[in-house]
Amino acid sequence: MICLRHVSHSYSRPNGQRKLALKEINLSIPPGSFTAIIGPNNSGKSTLAKILSGLITPSSGQFLFEEVEISQWSPNSLRKSIGLIFSNPEDQIVFPTVEEDLVFGLENFCFDSGEIEKRVLDILEFIGMREYRHFSIHQLSGGQKQKLAIASMLILGLRYVIFDEPISFLDDTSREEILTLIRKIHKRGATVIYMAQFFEEIIMADTIFALVNGKIQWQGSFTELLQKSDQMANWGIEVPPVIQLVNRLQKSGLTLPHSIHTVKQLVDALRKIKYEN
């Protein structure tokens, strides 16, 4: 369980003034859950991700990880429990080959050679890149680099994985591959915390928080969020055209399910209404 109580954080500006990035954040993230935090640029998502991963200490408030104050955890224990995946994999990959990058963290924790070999093969199989074991990083596509960045964290046996907009730099095909991989990670038992900017990233979440200007403005399910299109627009969160259309049709008196979020779902629902009438 991750629990934040009245967490705020500010940064120092070059002129000496402080910029408040997060304001009175309260949230609980149960083990095994999939939590999405959606918000526009500069809403505080990356700051929150760094706090949740233990990379930075909040200016005020309390952060409990498994009912223990985060400062009481040793850095090594925390690193093997919580990991952060950045939006740009280039910021996370250190070594020139796939295998070297995967082995690095394991060697730091003094795993024996047999265990290292097993974990490397297992994680490459899990991400679908076993044949790339000896490839150079420059031979990989953007999506493959992001898979490697994710694998370099997972290989340590993480129980909590935080993603900070991990598909921002990818093409459509790679985006879907990474989202599919994240679903697999969650199904395997990891707790997933996902910082998102787009709707396609939050469909699989159990609970969604809307973070705007450093404050949590709302929390609920994906279906409940679909009914908040007006509020989302005010928050600076882009509402997909199909959802805008569904809301207009509902307001005009057409009875449509609130769960619709794709063109296919809308077409199917309209066909059903046509046949019933």
Instruction: Answer yes or no: is pLDDT of 15 > 90.
Output: no
**Whole-number Å distance between alpha carbons of 243 and 90:** 34
State pTM to two decimals.
0.90
Structure tokens belonging to residue 168: 């921002």
For residue 277, what pLDDT band results from cuts at 50, 70 and 90? low
- Please compute the mean of the pLDDT values over residues 24-39 and round it to a whole number: 96
- Residue 72's contacts (CB-CB under 8 Å, 6 or more residues apart) are none
Please report which confidence band the pLDDT of residue 17 belongs to, taking 50, 70 and 90 as the band edges: confident
Q: What domains does the chain contain, in order, with CATH numbers?
A: 29-58+73-221 (3.40.50.300)
Q: How far apart are CA 226 and CA 250, in angstroms?
A: 12
Residue pLDDT, tens place only, 176-225: 999 999 999 999 999 999 999 878 789 899 999 999 999 999 999 998 99
48-93 per-position pLDDT tens digit:
999 999 999 999 999 999 999 999 999 889 999 999 999 999 999 9
Q: Which residues contact 239 (CB under 8 A, 6 or more apart)?
A: 199, 229, 232, 233
The whole-number pLDDT of residue 159 equals 95
